[in-house]
Amino acid sequence: MAKNLLLIFLLISLLALSLELAKAQLAPAAFVLGDSLVDVGNNNYLRNIAKANFPHNGIDFAARRPTGRFCNGKNPADFIADQLGLPSSPPYLSLPKNASYINGVSFASGASGILNGTFLAYGELIPFQKQVGYFVEVHKSLVQQMGSSAAEKHLSKSLFCVIIGSNDFFDYFGSSELQKQHTPQQFIDLLATSLKPQLKKLYEFGARKLMVAGVGPLGCVPAERVNNKTHQCNEEHNSWSVKYNDMLKAMLKGLKSELHGLNYSYFDTYKVLHNIIQYPSAYGFNEIKAACCGLGELRAKSLCLPIARYCSNRKDHVFWDLYHPTEAAYRIIVDVLFDGSSPYVVPINVRQLVSS
């Protein structure tokens, strides 16, 4: 009897080991640039008012711990790392100066945008250009650590994730000053002309596999719906989201023909989230309008503060707080990112991108 048990135990251990080996890394590193959709704690180290390192954020995270993620649980950066077989890339600002960046690092900062001026009034943020500047430092460190040709090879196989742009729009929607300076089309053009040289700089410093996400249906977040009597989406703001995404998609196509050896996945956050909002039950959701955590109408009259209320059925809400999706929605989004196809992720999905 004891012998049989031992045998079974050995077999189970072998099986577990082989499963562990089978989960090979799809890429040596993930470098994450972006905003609160992928911030894993950089803002905890900055003097600003764009923070999430307090309850009820993190209520479904390991040990129910708030970490600085603007979510109840994991965010897309975590799911992407899971899929790649890597640990979540740590916040750049949490690391010592002599840290090893070999498995990647995250520069993402809540409330940051493509433009330096986006949500400047919130305090210290890491705007996109500064995030790219930090990556240039990381590149230098990798070259020192590995030597130049090994570092180039390492980076050429690594995944670069760029999820930015929503905050530029939210700042624009709320600022009559910005609206006076730029028409919506001019503002979209400004975002494009600001983003493009920064993506080129990532390439210049070794990036060859680039995942770039468009913005979601910004007019459908609870913070926008609550401004409408019947809680409808702001269709004008949605149409600007679509215009920006079209431009971003075309820009990436141009970059690939311009930059030898660059491969990319463009992820259409708008189309994927809009589909979920239109057919929620097909994805297991039944609340698309109200946030899970917040105060007042649609729980969208406050941030997810410690004094706010939160729902118990977090798996059937698309939105965690007035701006950010739930872990449940993020999980679906990253599944499409890795294994979906046109028109949701083009010209290739991230699984194809990292295996090319």
**Residues designated catalytic:** 36, 321, 324
CB of 313 to ligand NAG, least distance (A): 26
- Binding of ligand NAG by 341 (CB under 6 A): no
Judge whether 270 and 215 are in contact, CB under 8 Å: yes
Judge whether 44 and 91 are in contact, CB under 8 Å: yes
CB of 326 to ligand NAG, least distance (A): 24
| Residue 152 amino acid letter | E
Q: Which two tokens stand for residue 142?
A: 């990798």
Judge whether 195 and 115 are in contact, CB under 8 Å: no
Residues 304, 72, 273, 348: is their CA dihedral positive or negative?
positive
**Which 8-state DSSP code applies to residue 114?**
S
Binding string, residues 174-213; x marks residues near ligand NAG by CB under 6 A: ----------------------------------------
Specify burial of residue 15 (Cβ count, 10 A radius: 0-12, 13-18, 19+). Answer: exposed
Binding string, residues 274-313; x marks residues near ligand NAG by CB under 6 A: ----------------------------------------
Binding string, residues 127-156; x marks residues near ligand NAG by CB under 6 A: --xx--x-----------------------
Site for ligand NAG in 234-263 (CB under 6 A): 235, 261, 263
Given the rule CB under 6 A, which of 2-10, 92-100, 147-155, 243-251 is the region that contacts ligand NAG?
Answer: 92-100
317-319/309-310 β-pairing: unpaired
Q: Which of 94, 331, 348, 351 binds ligand NAG (CB under 6 A)?
A: 348
CB of 88 to ligand NAG, least distance (A): 19
Q: Which is nearer to ligand NAG, 175 or 352 (CB)?
A: 352
Q: Which two tokens stand for residue 317?
A: 């809400």
Q: Which is nearer to ligand NAG, 55 or 133 (CB)?
A: 133
Q: Which is nearer to ligand NAG, 119 or 320 (CB)?
A: 119
- Binding of ligand NAG by 228 (CB under 6 A): yes
294: number of CA atoms within 13 Å, CB side? 24
| SS3 label, residue 165 | coil
**Which 8-state DSSP code applies to residue 90?**
P
Q: Which two tokens stand for residue 299?
A: 């729980």
Q: Which is nearer to ligand NAG, 18 or 232 (CB)?
A: 232
Is the previous residue joined to 90 through a cis bond, with omega within 30 degrees of 0? no
Q: Which of 100, 183, 185, 313 binds ligand NAG (CB under 6 A)?
A: 100
Beta-carbon neighbour count of residue 204 at 10 Å?
13
Q: Which is nearer to ligand NAG, 261 or 306 (CB)?
A: 261
Q: Which is nearer to ligand NAG, 102 or 305 (CB)?
A: 102
Judge whether 73 and 99 are in contact, CB under 8 Å: no
Q: Which is nearer to ligand NAG, 53 or 194 (CB)?
A: 194
Q: Where are the alpha helices (DSSP H) in the chain?
A: 2-22, 76-84, 128-146, 148-157, 166-173, 176-181, 184-204, 222-225, 235-258, 269-278, 327-339, 350-355
CB of 352 to ligand NAG, least distance (A): 5
- Residues in contact with ligand NAG, total (CB under 6 A)? 18
- Binding of ligand NAG by 90 (CB under 6 A): no
Judge whether 291 and 37 are in contact, CB under 8 Å: no
CB of 8 to ligand NAG, least distance (A): 42
- Binding of ligand NAG by 232 (CB under 6 A): yes
- Interface residues toward ligand NAG, by CB under 6 A: 96, 98, 100, 116, 129-130, 133, 228-230, 232-233, 235, 261, 263, 348, 352, 356
